[in-house]
Chain A
Amino acid sequence: GENVEQHPSTLSVQEGDSAVIKCTYSDSASNYFPWYKQELGKRPQLIIDIRSNVGEKKDQRIAVTLNKTAKHFSLHITETQPEDSAVYFCAASIRGDYKLSFGAGTTVTVRA
């Protein structure tokens, strides 16, 4: 089955700096890559996703890039704010499959 690795496991950044989280996947058939943000005590929230026919997608301060050849994708957060502090999970899925394979998560702390 699909195996997703996520790095780093923890990330501390100064407010206003950028944060980057990287994930790699093993199954070349994976074609959908969502990112979830989970604040303490809250639900995982889908913040951005990318499909395999796109190399980059941006939504305000967050962006995701995908390199299909290298089988890795990354989340970029610019101008970080304290409310960006959360656990972020990457995931991968094969078209038509019901399962999402999650990375282990990255705890992001934004220092004021």
Chain B
Amino acid sequence: DTEVTQTPKHLVMGMTNKKSLKCEQHMGHRAMYWYKQKAKKPPELMFVYSYEKLSINESVPSRFSPECPNSSLLNLHLHALQPEDSALYLCASAGQLAGYNEQFFGPGTRLTVL
């Protein structure tokens, strides 16, 4: 399996809802990422997990809560989001072979916050 998968593809939620995004990879990669992307803008890094431990948090508001249950899975828990959080949320993984940061992206979850 050479792909990163994400569910759901689309998500609409109200500002009081709690929802979760899921990401899975079976490439044996030890680094996993969450990005937020607005239309025609580059992906914006949110979190990095390395060997299942949170390595980087780019000062993301606490209404976004990441979780890495095991080396293949990555979740992003959402609570009390704002309309400006509407975006494409991308998961990525990287094998860091020889120290090179070759990242592969999942198809993303299109999130709309009402």
Q: Which residues of A contact B (CB under 8 A)?
A: 31-32, 34, 36, 42-46, 49, 51, 87, 89, 93, 95-100, 102-105, 107
The 7 A-B pairs with the shortest beta carbon distances in the complex, nearest first, are A102-B42, A93-B101, A96-B99, A43-B105, A95-B99, A98-B48, A32-B100
Q: 10 new A-B pairs (CB below 8 Å) besides A34-B102, A87-B40?
A: A31-B100, A32-B101, A49-B102, A95-B99, A98-B48, A98-B55, A98-B56, A98-B101, A99-B45, A105-B42
Q: Footprint of A on B, CB under 8 Å?
A: 31, 33, 40-43, 45, 48, 50, 55-56, 90, 94, 96, 99-108
The reply to whether A99 and B56 form a contact with Cβ atoms under 8 Å apart is yes
Give Cα distance in the complex from A67 to B107, angstroms. Answer: 32
Q: Return the contact of A98 from the options B42, B43, B94, B107 (Cβ within 8 A).
A: B94
Set of chain A residues within 8 Å of B102, measured between Cβ atoms: 32, 34, 46, 49
Asked whether A98 lies within 8 Å of B40 as measured between CB atoms, the reply is no
Residues of B within 8 A of A87 (CB): 40
Q: How far is the CB of B72 from chain A (nearest CB, A)?
A: 18
A89-B56 in contact given A43-B105, A45-B105, A98-B31 (Cβ < 8 Å): no
Q: Which residue of B lies closest to A102 (CB)?
A: B42
Q: List 22 interface pairs A-B (beta carbons < 8 Å), by A numbering.
A: A32-B101, A32-B102, A34-B102, A34-B103, A43-B105, A43-B106, A43-B107, A44-B43, A46-B103, A49-B102, A51-B100, A87-B40, A89-B43, A93-B101, A96-B96, A98-B31, A98-B33, A98-B50, A98-B55, A98-B101, A99-B56, A107-B40
Give CA–CA (A89, B41) in the complex, Å.
Answer: 9
Q: Do the beta carbons of B105 and A44 come within 8 Å of each other?
A: yes
